Amino acid sequence: MTINSKTDVTERLGSINALSKSILIVSCLLLSSCASTFDDYANAQDCTEQWYNLVEQQLSMSDAAGHGPDLGSDEWRSAVEMELQITENNNLPAIESETWCSFIHNSYIAPNL
């Protein structure tokens, strides 16, 4: 590749700068999307679909094929208790209550965010 003039050099530098800017923009977008996902999880309200997904992500209640109890069901909540090894805890709130979600969140999920 032969550079014939000052204009060729300027054009090539302009192309390199444009590529660098593009890479920087894409990197920033990727980082901001990751931060947004983390913020979404950190702000998840207890006993919502978003919160169930957060718990599922941390505890992996489903097998590799995605089989497992329905998110939020009493069966799923029992599986959460088993995974956390707290089934013998007599101080647990009723499994079908929103208080249960708050207890699980405050005691086990939030400290790991």
Q: Could you count the other beta carbons within 10 Å of the beta carbon of residue 47?
A: 17
Q: How far apart are CA 70 and CA 104, in angstroms?
A: 17
Sequence ranges of the domains in the chain:
1-42, 44-113
Q: Count of residues for the chain?
A: 113
Whole-angstrom distance, CA of residue 14 vs CA of residue 80: 56
Cα–Cα separations (whole angstroms), residue 69 to 30, 43, 79, 110: 32, 24, 8, 22
> Rounded to the nearest 10 degrees, what angle do helices 49-59 and 74-84 cross at?
40
> Token match 């790991």: residue?
112
Give 36-63 pLDDT, tens digit per residue: 344 554 566 899 999 999 999 999 877 7
**pTM, entire model:** 0.61
Query: Quick one: pLDDT at residue 83?
Result: 95
Find the mean pLDDT for residues 85-97.
96
- Contact between 55 and 68 (Cβ < 8 Å): no
> Which candidate, 69, 97, 91, places its Cα nearest to that of 59?
69
Check residues 71 and 33 and name the one with the higher pLDDT.
71
